[in-house]
Amino acid sequence: MSTEGIRLVLSDVDGTLLTSDKRLTAASVDAVAALRAAGIRFTVASSRPARGMAMVVGPLACDAPVGAFNGGVFVDATLTPIAERPLTLDAVARTIECIDAAGVDPWCYTATHWFVRDLDGPHVQHEARVTQYAPTATADLLGALGDAAGAPVKVVGYCADHDRVTAAEAAVVAALGATVSATRSQAYYLDVTHPDANKGAVVAYLSAHLGIPTHAIATIGDGDNDTLMFTPAGTSIAMGNAPADVAAQATHVTATNDDDGFARAMHEIVIART
């Protein structure tokens, strides 16, 4: 599809903007500055919490709403929430039941809090380091939600056994159907959000909020959940590190995240042809 007339770029974060060791390269920062000089706006969408995207939102000076939790929460450049799509407590309770039954560890998020059962649980400290966001431990995940914590916006299921994560996803879909969105941002992560909190809905929200038609939006990502934003966008770019089935759904493929694929795509696909 033609890249002519691109007015906004929407990017994934992990595996796209960031290298495998979670660095934002100078080339990526310079590429976003080049977009801005060409009159093209830029923002990000991720399964991360808003606070976990500070490391990219600030340095890249995002000038459009940022989609945290796959669009469960939209924030401005100061990470202040401007819109939320919360889950019901019933949906959270049933999701946790499905995740527990599959032998996967559940985490719960509100716009401002992250709750886990055990601070030393699998992958918790790693996630805290990567997102620069500290969790709160509680034996009662459901009971911790609400009040000062705010409404639940995402439930995560984590397990190093990818088959268990797949089983948890299937169980959630079977139990809750279209009342939630259940996608895997990584093979070991199951993200459960409001049905309208997915990256395809982020494209629709930005189009309506900014008055930019979807054919003038370019999206770039590497994961299964990124294909939802490939479909409505006029231009879609898969990273070179994306699985083959993800890359097949994009209109373009760039280099890997460890070879400045994001920066190269901005210069070679977006700016050069706009």
Q: Which helix (H) or strand (E) holds 169?
A: helix 162-176
Question: What is the band of 267 on the pLDDT scale with cuts at 50, 70, 90?
Answer: very high
Distance CA 233, CA 269 (A): 14
- Give the lowest-confidence range in 5-9, 106-110, 131-135, 148-152: 148-152
**What's the confidence (pLDDT) of residue 247?**
98
User: Could you tell me the CA-to-CA distances from 269 to 4, 28, 35, 120, 240 in Å, in that order?
Assistant: 10, 14, 11, 43, 14
Q: Which residues pair with 116 in a beta bridge?
A: 137
Residue 146: pLDDT over 50: yes
Architecture of the domain delimited by 89-193: 2-Layer Sandwich (3.30)
* Angle, vertex CA 203, rays to CA 214 and CA 124, nearest 5: 160
- Nearest one of 56, 29, 67 to 198, comparing CA atoms: 67
Average pLDDT over every residue of 113-133: 92
pLDDT score for 147:
67
Mean pLDDT of 126-137: 91
**Which regions of the chain carry the CATH code 3.30.1240.10?**
89-193
**Residue whose C-alpha is closest to residue 96's, from 140, 47, 147:** 140
Q: Categorize the per-residue pLDDT at 145 as very low, low, confident or very high, splitting at 50, 70 and 90.
A: confident
At 256 the pLDDT is 99
List, for residues 42-73, the tens digit of each pLDDT value: 999 998 999 899 999 999 999 999 999 999 99
- Return the pLDDT at 1: 47
Span 212-239, pLDDT tens digits: 999 999 999 999 999 999 999 999 999 9
Report the C-alpha gap between 233 and 206 in whole angstroms. Answer: 11
Nearest of 138, 170, 141, 167 to residue 154 by alpha carbon? 141
Neighbours of 66 (CB within 10 A): 26
Specify the pTM: 0.87
Residue 150 pLDDT more than 60?
Answer: yes
pLDDT at 85 over 60: yes
Q: What is the DSSP string of 84-136?
A: E-PPPHHHHHHHHHHHHHTT-EEEEEESS-EEES-TTSTTHHHHHHHHT---E
Residue range(s) in the chain whose domain bears CATH number 3.40.50.1000: 8-84+198-271
**CATH architecture of the domain with range 8-84+198-271:** 3-Layer(aba) Sandwich (3.40)
Average pLDDT value for residue range 200-214: 97
173 token code pair = 């879909």
Beta-strand relationship, 114-116 and 105-110: antiparallel
